[in-house]
A and B are shown apart, each in its own frame.
Chain A
Amino acid sequence: MIASLLMTLPEDVLTIGALVLMLVAAWGGQSSTRAISWTAAAVLVGATISLCGAASTGGEAFNGLYHADPFAAFSKVLIYGAAAVSILIAPRFFQRGAGEDLRPEYPVLILLSAVGMGMMVSAGDLLTLYVGLELQSLAAYVLASFMRRDSRSAEAGLKYFVLGALASGILLYGISLVYGFSGTTLFSSIATAYGAGHSLGLTFGLVFVFAGLAFKISAVPFHMWTPDVYEGAPTPVTAFFASAPKVAAMAMAVRVAVEAMGPATDQWRQIVIFASLASIIFGGVAAIGQSNIKRLLAYSSINNVGFALVGLAAGTQAGVASVLFYMTIYVVMTLGSFLVVLQMRDQDGEPVETIASLAGLSRTRPLLALAMAIFMFSLAGIPPLLGFNAKLAVFDAAVSAGLFWLAVAGFVASVISTYYYLRVVKVMYIDEPAPAFDSERSLVEGGLTTAAAVFVSPIGWLLLAPLGAWTLVAAKALF
């Protein structure tokens, strides 16, 4: 019991932290927001530190319900980091933008969501997985509608909730099928059942589970909620949605695919390949006509999930490592892009979201434009920016696994998405300046944007070797 609790230390820290902070929020009220935000970020840092030791190498806790392995630890570092950033960037947005200050529930909800995500990536059992997923989702539904007086935000929350519930239903149906035909919900036993031979029920279960997972990672054809939710939710929340839950859902999908359904790789590979190519192509084509930067980034995230799935389709250890590698760089690029979006405020401090308002940014705010250009070129996968290495890694894994035509199709389709990333750069660098943005800077936003841009720039190459080695260690844990 004690050993198990030690292995779940990050979740313990986060849960206790969230509950205590909720009480503080209840009594402290609005004025305690700033302190709670910083404390919540500190709790996330504490949870990250607690990953050292048993939480990353302990093995199985609670009789296999929970896995404390390097794979989970790697994903959690990303998740906690993205969650902390999402907390830190929020106060300014709410203070200036929505006319109402940030309420102290925001950091608490993010912490609870982080607990759920931790469970998702550590799950060793379909039910742990489901509980984690729901915990994460419920917190996220509230976050999406956090600006409750804003109709777009409320709509986003409702949409997210209805479609998310549907997805959970599909997933649960798949879980029940798998349970029915294998007699267990434990990953290791399910793998044995899949290895034992072909069973129509198990195959159906697999299809439904993957459909539910595809919903959560917003892969085509289960992506339709993404643009609306991303557009409607407050920008810091959108940044959060595009980063931490994406990593969690992707890591969860990888774990289910490899640990529980590893013997059925040939069956799920077709699903993954389809979802991957469809996401890459659809995410590229649909983004071309967008005029709202948040919607554009939503389609960009769909597109990126497609690339990460290329690594999963490989189904090998190198493939899993490449997914983690991809997600790491993706998270930095996406958070960076949203940080720039956050700094798009007109002279009254109201947030603006149209791509056209970025016009001539290179002359009004050269450094901000440079950062955004770096993120866009990186998302497009143009060397020497790190987004290129991410794509290289997943396609390398696919080619090594013999998925040659997937690599060809994926790479060629990536050219489509380059077009709209280029369009953003064109608007910023080539078009005549639009009215300048509010020039008031903030240390947190500026510092985080700079850090992300430097990470993605060629300077970040120095980190590639340790990062690659770490992802390999993490991926090894699943095989």
Chain B
Amino acid sequence: MTGFPILSVMLAIPAIAAVACLLVSANAARWIALLATLVDLLLGIGLWEQFDIGGPQWQFVESVPLFGRFGWSLGIDGFALMLIMLSVFLMPICIGASWVAIEKRVQEYMAAFLVTELLMIGTFAAQDLFLFYIFFEAGLIPMYLIIGIWGGANRIYASYKFFLYTLLGSVLMLIAMLWMVQFAGTTSIPVLLNTDFPVHAQTWLWLAFFASFAVKMPMWPVHTWLPDAHVQAPTAGSVILAGVLLKLGGYGFLRFSLPMFPEASAQLAWLVFGLSAVAVIYTSLVALVQSDMKKLIAYSSVAHMAIVTIGLFAFNRQGIEGAMVVMLSHGLVSGALFLCVGVIYDRLHTREISRYGGLAINMPRYALLFMLFTMASVGLPGTSGFVGEFLSLAGTYQVSTTITLLCTTGIILGAAYMLYLYRRVVFGDLTKDDVRAMPDLSLREVALLAPIAAVVLWMGVYPESFLAPMRGDVGTLVARIARAAPAGDSLPTPGKHMIPTSHGEGAK
């Protein structure tokens, strides 16, 4: 588009700011971090504004052959644009959320967050297979430190688990990448997207990628690092973990597994569907009995991400668009919910649900915002959650009615555990003295939550803004995987075009 290397600049700003943070005082580090993330947000808005909907698939392309076997090539399509927007949107909020909560080693903390931002944008923008892997994998280091240094009591166990689980998944993917590069003779993702790999090899490649993305996603049964990591991470760490890092798995499925190995994706869709169905029901039930607020939201994340995976493997437009919207929506909503937890954690320093109650009386503003995000998490129409989950399930219904039936129970269970959480924390009598002493949201906290609330409603009322940039890419993707699309069992009845008597049998 323009000659201005906007993506590289978006990567360079947090990099420079991270180094700067290490060299200055704690307070200056906070301001530098906030400023850098805000500049990146502005650049992100510029990116969205400049993005040519309906234009070429890859935009803002930059390519410099710097590093021997592979190059510094960046570029984005609609999917990447949306996820980058999510990252740059959440980042200033994370910095703000840590403004007073983080007291020790502020400089390193801010630097770690800025590096995380850099790596996330890089992952979504990378157009070179190995460059993608580097950004994808390097994110482990700052997150390891964020959980390990600033986390809660059991943080060391959680940080090891997070690191080693995700690393094990990723190395298998790396081997698959080596094979693919050798087969195709290129490391360029746009070229690989149109390479047809032999069907027998696809299965293995798909499984290797699956090993990595399933851990990142996280899918049942390799999700166990997530509740540990979340509970122990500081609030902003949780927001980033839930908001953006969990999207890497979904993005990986969307960018690699589906278009590169369509046949294998179709063959193994039963695996994804099965695991997702288990995840939705099992983790929702687990969430229902949690006594720790963050753990509850963490388990609900697993359930929501399962809705993403079934949508992706539905092989049709509704499913994929729905999956993307669920990812964006979940990024905002779960991030906001973690912030809500952080707000009361900062006041009472406990996440035990039973320690709270009756907050609606002394914290009305908080109760209102928390209510909105609870409803969005449940998937109430008018919020972003509804749009995504409905599209995703509608897409899945065309492929497998049984799985859709099972996964839709997740909506009901989701309502159950979220409302149960809300009732216990916000409603009831204000019996505890320390809870009564809690002040309502400060201006800073409102400033953090209000933008998210606005976007959640925007996405719920007018999702077109978010769907439009992705429309062309979804079309490309669906066309690419059409040859492998499985036949559905939903037997749709195409009403008007059929003569009434053959209704039903005619669709066989």
Residues of A within 8 A of B55 (CB): none
Contact between B171 and A392, CB atoms less than 8 A apart:
no
Question: Roughly how many angstroms separate A241 CA and B325 CA in the complex, as a whole number?
Answer: 57
Contact between B167 and A468, CB atoms less than 8 A apart:
no
Indicate which residue in A408, A418, A465 contacts B164 across the interface (CB closer than 8 Å).
A418
Contact between B156 and A426, CB atoms less than 8 A apart:
yes
B353 within 8 A of A: no
Interface size for B (C-beta < 8 A) is 35
Residues of A within 8 A of B175 (CB): 395, 399, 404, 407-408, 411
Contact between A465 and B172, CB atoms less than 8 A apart:
no
Interface string of A380-424 (1 = CB under 8 A from B): 001110001000100110011000100110011011001100100
Q: Which of B41-49, B140-148, B361-369 is near enough to bind chain A? A: B140-148
B178 within 8 A of A: yes
Question: How distant is A80 from chain B, measured CB to nearest CB, in Å?
Answer: 24
Contact between B68 and A465, CB atoms less than 8 A apart:
yes
Contact between B138 and A383, CB atoms less than 8 A apart:
yes
Question: Roughly how many angstroms separate A412 CA and B138 CA in the complex, as a whole number?
Answer: 18
Contact between A429 and B148, CB atoms less than 8 A apart:
yes
Residues of A within 8 A of B134 (CB): 383-384, 388
Question: How distant is A72 from chain B, measured CB to nearest CB, in Å?
Answer: 23
Contact between A399 and B179, CB atoms less than 8 A apart:
yes
| CB neighbors of B among A413-442 (8 A) | 414-415, 418-419, 422, 425-426, 429-430
Residues of B within 8 A of A462 (CB): 66-67
Interface SS, B side: helix
Residues of B within 8 A of A465 (CB): 66-68
B487 within 8 A of A: no
B497 within 8 A of A: no
Q: Which among B66, B67, B148, B175 has the greatest number of chain A C-beta atoms within 10 A? A: B175
B330 within 8 A of A: no
A161 within 8 A of B: no
- Chain A residue nearest to B134 (CB atoms) is A383
Given A418-B167, A419-B160, A468-B68: A411 and B141 within 8 A (CB)? Answer: no
Residues of A within 8 A of B178 (CB): 392, 395-396, 399, 407
Residues of B within 8 A of A464 (CB): 67-68
A461 within 8 A of B: yes
Question: How distant is A325 from chain B, measured CB to nearest CB, in Å?
Answer: 10
Residues of B within 8 A of A461 (CB): 66-67
| CB neighbors of B among A344-395 (8 A) | 362-363, 366, 377, 382-384, 388, 392, 395
Contact between A382 and B138, CB atoms less than 8 A apart:
yes
B133 within 8 A of A: yes
| CB neighbors of A among B293-335 (8 A) | none
Indicate which residue in B137, B148, B172, B181 contacts A382 across the interface (CB closer than 8 Å).
B137
Question: Roughly how many angstroms separate A382 CA and B164 CA in the complex, as a whole number?
Answer: 11
Residues of A within 8 A of B168 (CB): 412, 415
Given A384-B134, A399-B179, A404-B179: A377 and B141 within 8 A (CB)? Answer: yes
Q: Which among B138, B163, B168, B171 has the greatest number of chain A C-beta atoms within 10 A? A: B171
Interface size for A (C-beta < 8 A) is 34
Given A396-B178, A418-B164, A430-B149: A383 and B133 within 8 A (CB)? Answer: yes
- Chain A residue nearest to B178 (CB atoms) is A399
Residues of A within 8 A of B182 (CB): 396, 399-400
B130 within 8 A of A: yes
Residues of A within 8 A of B140 (CB): 382
Indicate which residue in A366, A418, A426 contacts B148 across the interface (CB closer than 8 Å).
A426
Contact between A415 and B167, CB atoms less than 8 A apart:
yes
Given A392-B174, A462-B66: A418 and B163 within 8 A (CB)? Answer: yes
Indicate which residue in A411, A422, A429 contacts B149 across the interface (CB closer than 8 Å).
A429
Residues of A within 8 A of B167 (CB): 382, 415, 418
Contact between A412 and B179, CB atoms less than 8 A apart:
no
B384 within 8 A of A: no
Contact between B144 and A422, CB atoms less than 8 A apart:
yes
Question: Roughly how many angstroms separate A135 CA and B137 CA in the complex, as a whole number?
Answer: 44
Contact between B141 and A382, CB atoms less than 8 A apart:
yes
Question: Roughly how many angstroms separate A414 CA and B174 CA in the complex, as a whole number?
Answer: 13
Given A382-B141, A429-B148, A430-B149: A422 and B163 within 8 A (CB)? Answer: yes
Interface SS, A side: helix
Question: How distant is B169 from chain A, measured CB to nearest CB, in Å?
Answer: 10
- Chain A residue nearest to B15 (CB atoms) is A458
B37 within 8 A of A: no
Indicate which residue in B66, B141, B155, B163 contacts A430 across the interface (CB closer than 8 Å).
B155
Residues of A within 8 A of B144 (CB): 422, 425
Q: Which among A396, A400, A408 has the greatest number of chain B C-beta atoms within 10 A? A: A396
Question: Roughly how many angstroms separate A414 CA and B171 CA in the complex, as a whole number?
Answer: 9
- Chain A residue nearest to B122 (CB atoms) is A384
- Chain B residue nearest to A395 (CB atoms) is B178
B444 within 8 A of A: no
- Chain B residue nearest to A383 (CB atoms) is B134
Question: How distant is A153 from chain B, measured CB to nearest CB, in Å?
Answer: 35
Interface string of B170-197 (1 = CB under 8 A from A): 0110110011011000000000000000
Question: Roughly how many angstroms separate A469 CA and B67 CA in the complex, as a whole number?
Answer: 11
- Chain B residue nearest to A325 (CB atoms) is B68
B159 within 8 A of A: yes
Question: How distant is B157 from chain A, measured CB to nearest CB, in Å?
Answer: 11
Q: Which among B67, B130, B182 has the greatest number of chain A C-beta atoms within 10 A? A: B67
Question: How distant is B180 from chain A, measured CB to nearest CB, in Å?
Answer: 10
Question: Roughly how many angstroms separate A68 CA and B358 CA in the complex, as a whole number?
Answer: 83
Interface string of B277-294 (1 = CB under 8 A from A): 000000000000000000
Question: Roughly how many angstroms separate A87 CA and B171 CA in the complex, as a whole number?
Answer: 38
B496 within 8 A of A: no
Contact between A430 and B148, CB atoms less than 8 A apart:
yes
Contact between B156 and A430, CB atoms less than 8 A apart:
yes
Residues of A within 8 A of B145 (CB): 429
B69 within 8 A of A: yes
Question: How distant is B329 from chain A, measured CB to nearest CB, in Å?
Answer: 30
Question: How distant is B195 from chain A, measured CB to nearest CB, in Å?
Answer: 17
Residues of B within 8 A of A383 (CB): 133-135, 137-138
Residues of B within 8 A of A468 (CB): 68-69
Contact between A411 and B171, CB atoms less than 8 A apart:
yes
- Chain A residue nearest to B147 (CB atoms) is A430
Given A383-B134, A399-B178, A465-B66: A422 and B171 within 8 A (CB)? Answer: no
Given A395-B174, A404-B175, A415-B167, 5 new contacts (CB under 8 A): A383-B135, A392-B174, A419-B160, A425-B144, A430-B156
10 closest Cβ contacts across the A-B interface?
Answer: A383-B134, A465-B68, A411-B171, A468-B68, A399-B178, A464-B68, A430-B148, A415-B168, A384-B138, A383-B137
Residues of B near any A CB (own CB < 8 A): 22, 66-69, 105, 108, 130, 133-135, 137-138, 140-141, 144-145, 148-149, 155-156, 159-160, 163-164, 167-168, 171-172, 174-175, 178-179, 181-182
**What are 25 A-B interface contacts by the 8 Å CB criterion?**
A366-B22, A382-B137, A382-B140, A382-B141, A384-B138, A388-B137, A392-B178, A395-B178, A396-B178, A396-B181, A396-B182, A399-B182, A407-B175, A407-B178, A411-B175, A415-B168, A418-B167, A422-B144, A425-B144, A426-B156, A426-B159, A429-B148, A462-B67, A464-B68, A465-B66
